[in-house]
Amino acid sequence: MAEREQAVGHVACGRDRAPRHLLHPRHLDRRGAYARSFPDDRGVHPSSDGQHHEHIRCAHAHPWRRGHDHRDADLQSCKNSIFTITAVSGGKPTSSDAEEDIGTGFLIDHNGDLLTNAHVVGSATTVQVSGDNRQFVGRVIDADQLDDLAIVRIPAPKSLQPLPLGSVKSLQPGSLVIAIGNPFELTSSVSSGIVSGLNRSMSESNGHVMNGMIQTDAPLNPGNSGGPLLNAAGQVVGINTLIESPIEGSIGIGFAIPIDRFIQLEPELLSGKPIAHAWLGIEGMDIDSLMQQALHLPVSSGVYVTEVAQGGPAAKAGLRGDSNAAKLNSLSQSANPYAALKGNGDIIIGIDGKSVSSIEQLTQYINQDDPGQTVVLTVLRGGKTLHVRVTLGTWPSGQNP
């Protein structure tokens, strides 16, 4: 499915694994011939590492006093709450077949709970945590793969202070931010930059869309995954997770999950309760003018349904995919990449009375609903407009939206 999604317009997130590697902010795979481009205003800003650190402090640190410079102490207090997470899978840590993935996590409460990315801990059999000159064995309390959030619990001393949580609402384009993490196993590395954009939507290889993402030019590198993104008040506003780059390394376009999303899911994550996500059960393509002309479609925007998951909610409601969808893997960088399609798939142009122009917009609406809810899709089929009621299911592992 992932290869097909690249070909039909998804920007996929690659998660390449090696016997030992630092878990990156995940790279967005731009190799697909028709991968969706980013908005024109997504400029790459030169990083300002080392120039803005003096303005950042942790909210739990002592306030600055006139005549005294507490900036280094304030930043150090932040670093004491940030840990290196080594996730071991495939065997015991000392065995030759063991794989180690390294990322970052930060303390969020006095119970020893660290927040990190779900892709950092993955399917680890052992989680080793180091920080504050100590070594711990961590326990994964919960990991939500779709939102890429996980909780790792350690027996942390009560003397350690959790990082204060802020809100993405405190940010605007141009706001100063600082990222702390463990890139290339260099612990507690600090980089700074600005907010380049807010409310970005990023599509993953499994079709899930991560909405509300923070775009920053603060340099993010392998090992920064799961680390905090702080605002000028020293509050956590995001969890570093993605970089957009055609190469391994940072080129100034990074993304963080807004801390508001964690706060929304905090009760479920801390309790270990599985988080259910709504599922529609389709694969689709964004309609553009080229596709409209090639397939003689009645509209120039919307979601063209290529496939419907067998037995899924959309299939039960009677939605139809393109009868030639099986040929999509043969798409190439030709002048007409839609030649393999029949053109008889349903076109989704609305949901619950709201217009839909893209897959990202459709999945953004679906993400706001719960399994079991019924939505009404506005669908074009054979020259007719249909209103199709779909009862959303629970997203099964490995499926598309």
Which string of DSSP letters, residue by residue, matches 14-50?
E----SEEEPPSEEEE--STTPPPPPTT-PPPPP-TT
Catalytic one of 191, 225, 250, 301: 225
Smallest CA-to-CA distance from 112 within 156, 167, 68 is with 156
Say how far apart CA 216 and CA 181 lie, in whole Å. 15
Do residues 279 and 393 make contact, with C-beta atoms less than 8 angstroms apart? yes
Say how far apart CA 391 and CA 258 lie, in whole Å. 29
Q: Is 123 a catalytic residue?
A: no
Catalytic one of 74, 101, 113, 148: 148
Q: Report the SS3 class of residue 2.
A: helix
Burial class (CB in 10 A: 0-12, 13-18, 19+), 270: middle
* Token duo for residue 113: 């709970």
∠ CA(165), CA(167), CA(172), 5° rounding?
Answer: 135
Say how far apart CA 167 and CA 64 lie, in whole Å. 23
Do residues 324 and 47 make contact, with C-beta atoms less than 8 angstroms apart? no
Say how far apart CA 238 and CA 259 lie, in whole Å. 5
Q: Is 225 a catalytic residue?
A: yes
Cβ atoms < 10 Å from Cβ of 312: 20
Q: Is 119 a catalytic residue?
A: yes
Q: Phi first, then psi: what are they for 55, rounded to 5°? A: -90, -5
Catalytic one of 10, 24, 52, 119: 119
Say how far apart CA 237 and CA 155 lie, in whole Å. 25
Per the listing, tokens 């410079």 go with 69
Say how far apart CA 217 and CA 196 lie, in whole Å. 6
Cβ atoms < 10 Å from Cβ of 156: 23
Smallest CA-to-CA distance from 193 within 207, 180, 208, 212 is with 180
| Active site members | 119, 148, 225
